[in-house]
Structure 1
């Protein structure tokens, strides 16, 4: 899976435990604001156990974007519950220097394809109302959205049922 951004080639691949140091380094290169938008908290450094959870394939799908051997973005689709009624949760982090180049949209489309492959009929993202880039990204997916407010956090649910019926998982991943 590759994406050409400007003159750089971005390699998308599944993340695993061998990537933990590189993922931690990417987090360190991100601004406090970028990390806050991703985790909705003031964490300045992610605990190792949280990083391990993000790349555990039993808990979800994690993809990283690599440029010249450095991880510059990461997307996660975490399975939320044992029942079929709880949507998977989408999370994205794009290093500041790589924002506004289409990486967030590219990883989101790949994760939506993975959700469809797993027969999820929806996914959700917990988004702060001032996280305009994420709200814009979700709104630009051309998929039905439902928004619910809870204690200052917006839960945006992306309805994948129509796409599942169309059988278009692979086209979303491009």
Structure 2
């Protein structure tokens, strides 16, 4: 892990040999986060938000970029584009009030899928959750989201139906 003023930054190489940087998502990434969401395919958006979000509201952007550092972590994978960071993937979690469980999510730009980026983003997220003493990480996903099922399975998550919604599944990873 490389440190830049105590903010973690990781330089990673994808399966296609592309170099990316994984770093914390910060409030100044608001416009980049909006652009990232707006260019996702309808299917990727639906899988990430469990519904269609073409243009994120100001409230949604606030919740995605202004994090509670005690409970929330978000990492973005970026590549340089026109002297700016272009977000190509995001992983995040939000812990419960007891910091024992957290809900996580990951989304990767359609052009960057199938290169190992989702796995890298989730591994960094899992490392931080473990370091914070979180015991269980879970993700609620559409049952038809095969890519997430594969990713979760590769990372050791168990999978079971969502008792509240038959169209969804819950992936769960014990961290202790």
TM range (shorter): 0.7 to 0.9
* CA drift at 1:160: 1.0
**Structure 1 CA distance, aligned partners of 2:49 and 2:140?**
9
Q: Quick check: 2:99–2:133 contact (8 Å CA) kept in 1?
A: no
- The answer for unaligned runs of 5 or more in structure 1 is 162-174
The CA deviation string for residues 126-169 of structure 1, in whole angstroms up to 9 with x for no partner, is 0111000001001001x3525242312111111112xxxxxxxx
* CA drift at 1:105: 0.5
Q: Quick check: 2:79–2:86 contact (8 Å CA) kept in 1?
A: yes
Size of the alignment, in residue pairs?
A: 158
More helix by share: 1
Q: Quick check: 1:73–1:94 contact (8 Å CA) kept in 2?
A: yes
**Structure 2 CA distance, aligned partners of 1:37 and 1:155?**
13
Q: Does 1:40 align with 2:50?
A: yes
Q: Quick check: 2:89–2:107 contact (8 Å CA) kept in 1?
A: yes
Determine which of 39, 60, 66 is the counterpart of 2:78.
Answer: 66
Query: Which residue is equivalent to 1:117?
Result: 131
Query: Which residue is equivalent to 1:78?
Result: 94
The CA deviation string for residues 33-67 of structure 1, in whole angstroms up to 9 with x for no partner, is 10000010122222122122123331400000011
Distance change (3 Å), C-alpha of 1:83 and 1:148: farther
